[in-house]
Amino acid sequence: MTVLDLDGPDARHPGLVGGKAANLAELRAAGFDVPSGFCVTTDAYRRAADAAGLDEVLGRAEDAALAAAARKALLAVPIAPDVEAAVAEAYERLGDRVPVAVRSSATAEDLPSASFAGQQDTYLNVVGTEAVLDAVRRCWASLWTDRAASYRASAGIDGHEVALAVVVQRMADARVAGVLFTADPVSGRRTRSVIDASPGLGEAVVSGAVNPDHVVVEGSTIDYRPGDKAVEVRAVPGGGTEQVAGSDRRGERALTDDEVRALVALGRRVEAHYGAPQDIEWAIDTAGAVRLTQSRPITTLHPLPEPSGPGLRAYLCLSLAQGLTRPITPMGIAAFRVIGAAGSRLGFGIPADELAGPSALAVAGGRVFVDVTAALRNAVGRRIVPRILDVMEARSAVVLRKLMDEPAFAVRTRSPWSFARRVLRVLVRYRVPLQIGRALAAPAAARRRVRRVGDGLTAALPPATTGLERHDRALALLGRVFPVLPTVAPVAGAGFLALGLARALAGPEIDARTTHDLLRSLPHNVTTEMDLELWQVAVRLRADDPSVARLRAGSGPLPELLRDELDRFLRRHGHRAVAEIDIGVPRWRDDPSYVLGVLAGYLRLAIDGDRASTPDAMFARGAAAAEKAVADVVARVRRRSRPRALVVGWALQRTRELAGLRETHKDHLVRLIAAARTDLVAVGAELAGRGLLAEADDVFFLDLAEARSALLGADHRDVVAQRREDHARELRRRHVPRVLLSDGTEPEALSAPAAGDGALVGTPASAGEVTGLARVVLDPADAHLEPGEILVVPSTDPGWTPLFLTAGGLVMEMGGANSHGAVVAREYGIPAVVGVPDATGVITTGQRITVDGAAGSVLLTPA
């Protein structure tokens, strides 16, 4: 059928698929006051598209020129006679030349992940059959506006698969109209309703042509801020609309308090019907009736974690704190639960189910959050947690400190003993003070102990041949992850304690700049060692013409020398990856294309670059600068006290010998995760071979319990398909909240970031100043970084750091002064600023910027 009513049996017809047509029919069926009308279905559009030869026009990739050609073709084709007759008949049933709204309804709009608001056209106050038919044709053509084609591309939707229905509805005789959000679209607060209202048709508000009244409602409180309402869109007798300019009307309210409350109540009913916050268009007619003209999901809100306790809760995004903006696979989240359960049980003596994880761990939008409410309400916890975040993810620390002023997070536990008892349990169980003392006494022996821990990570595991055995072995490997942290990290911690001792004794002789120099080019850092090893591979390959040609081409078989060098590198570092804390992400040994891409960049520098600017030369200069800084500090302190100078010199040497191991525990954790991944890949292969999964990697879209049930015969292919779709949608999400409250509020959104004099401001991470061209990189797998370009990224983990060797500077949205990116930038001596809000959105590739790593500022010049 080509025309369907929005009422009666037609409302349940499969032809009303997707978009506002289906939504409006559903809302009318649910009893909401939605203007009556009919729908010209997607079948009619497809017939018009076939008649216009649209497939031939779109035979090439979609772009602006093709979109224009598609519009032209659809506007030129006549509407099929039977469709024309059906539209005319349906229109006449509404009344004699009744004014209607003719509205586009694409199959890909009003989705949970993409609203498509305003991307296709709407025509208001259309009067007469010929005018309705013309508006239908123009709606079809609007599927191919440049803005709609671009929006589809950014949302990952194939435009060739999209079709368009057209909704024709009676016009509401609007006295006032506007938009209602059932959650605050800025802060995310789900308990708040936000209304924009202006006299006349809602088009003035939706299009942004008017400064409307702005109303925020929370509970019984109405915050009403009148706008000037100087523009009004009105229906013109006989058809069409006009925009009428008037005087400033701030002294008048478009809505009474009763009307505001009626709108809020309507919004809550619609939200309850759909089970999600809604973006609603509404009108109040001259009789005072509230009419619902459209409802769609608010697509920009981040999903909420399941409540982990009573009252208002605060959740810290652990994914972001680990430098990960992308969603984690379901199996990756399952691994977090196992690791967290082991930490809760072994470290703090708090029972936790092995597969469910600790109660404080929560998941939303494929990201892992931790409930920090108890820490904020504890006198000791609220001091310690932000200080830890100061060096890991500084902006999260700022947000948490502001939350401490909220009554909901006031201190409830002042005694330090409950918190201290749990910390002491970890210190005693893993002999942390003894480890620190032994490391300070004999650094070389401590490093050998850490190496032995790494060598024994996968020792004494039972053999595994069946899928169930491999599943259980993967679970056992993940159970070994947490104990590595208190076993290995104290050695590096001893180095930083030594630095603290030196600073306390030296006083002003060790300022921020000197500290930066002291920590440059630290030895025994597994991440920088890995990057420099890869650089040496490039040096060895530069004289081998076949290898050079293959790396420059970017594809083709690997020449013998390149293959041998790559295999040698991957034998030691093939367990690494970008986003490596997610067990579902392929390792470099699974897919070395990223490593080959980095090698190609290194090769350009090895062949054409200045010898003084090569990574090994810069690292050597950094080490020399650090040794000089140690000597200078000791000399200055000696002038005041010779015994004190001896202690300061000893402490700084211990810092140099031990602090570089701060990356080792992460490397060990990733080795265990990679080993567990190998077993799970085998489980996936078995399930795919038995027809229970479509492909082996589908196992990473199950959790551990589901993988076991699949091995016992359960078919989870539908679950996997849905989760892959959800994961792909979340991959497109650009903004992830650092801290999220259980009512949906994102506290950081309530305060604007600091800035001044045209500069972006963040946290100083690596001193120095550099001016150069920016290279914005969202995914390092697709990165092409020219030597000297300034790398601008959302976040980094060790898998990103090979790019640092050729970068002129670093700007990072996430992180703190001691995050991975900051540490590696200091060791390579490149200026870096981290924790810069929305850096990848504000800065564009090719824009000249100046990074001042000591001041923590990024100065922009026009793009």
The answer to whether residue 837 scores a pLDDT higher than 50 is: yes
**Are the beta carbons of 168 and 102 closer than 8 angstroms?**
yes
pLDDT mean over 273-295: 94
Residue range 365-400, pLDDT digits in tens: 999 999 999 999 988 889 999 988 887 788 899 999
Residue range 94-141, pLDDT digits in tens: 999 999 999 988 764 444 444 444 568 899 999 999 999 999 999 999
The answer to whether residue 779 scores a pLDDT higher than 90 is: no
**Are the beta carbons of 823 and 662 closer than 8 angstroms?**
yes
Lowest model confidence (mean pLDDT) among 72-76, 550-554, 559-563, 731-735: 731-735
pLDDT at 158: 61
Lowest model confidence (mean pLDDT) among 266-280, 488-502, 597-611: 597-611
Residue range 666-702, pLDDT digits in tens: 999 999 999 999 999 999 999 999 999 999 999 999 9
Lowest model confidence (mean pLDDT) among 38-47, 110-119, 227-236, 413-422: 110-119
Helix (H, G, I), strand (E, B) or coil at 826: helix
Q: What is the amino acid identity at position 487?
A: T
Q: pLDDT tier at 17 (50, 70, 90 boundaries)?
A: low
The answer to whether residue 167 scores a pLDDT higher than 80 is: yes
Q: Are strands 367-371 and 314-317 parallel, antiparallel or unpaired?
A: antiparallel
Lowest model confidence (mean pLDDT) among 218-222, 346-350, 738-742: 346-350
The answer to whether residue 795 scores a pLDDT higher than 50 is: yes
The answer to whether residue 863 scores a pLDDT higher than 60 is: no
CA 252, CA 602: separation in Å to the nearest integer?
Answer: 66
What pTM does this model have?
A: 0.84
pLDDT mean over 166-178: 93
pLDDT at 322: 84
pLDDT mean over 646-671: 96
DSSP code of 558?
A: P
What percent of the chain lies above the pLDDT cut of 90?
A: 66
CA distances from 496 to 15, 245, 512, 824 (A): 67, 67, 15, 16
**Are the beta carbons of 651 and 502 closer than 8 angstroms?**
yes
pLDDT mean over 296-310: 90
Helix (H, G, I), strand (E, B) or coil at 128: coil
Q: What is the amino acid identity at position 278?
A: Q
Secondary structure E strands in 713-804: 739-741, 755-756, 759-761, 763-766, 769-776, 790-793
Alpha helices in 690-838 (DSSP H): 704-711, 717-731, 820-828
Q: pLDDT tier at 806 (50, 70, 90 boundaries)?
A: confident
CA distances from 64 to 56, 105, 149, 372 (A): 16, 21, 8, 48
Catalytic machinery residues: 820
The answer to whether residue 8 scores a pLDDT higher than 80 is: no
pLDDT at 321: 86
User: Which helix H or strand E contains 67, and what residues bound it?
Assistant: helix 64-76
The answer to whether residue 755 scores a pLDDT higher than 50 is: no
State the average pLDDT for the chain: 89
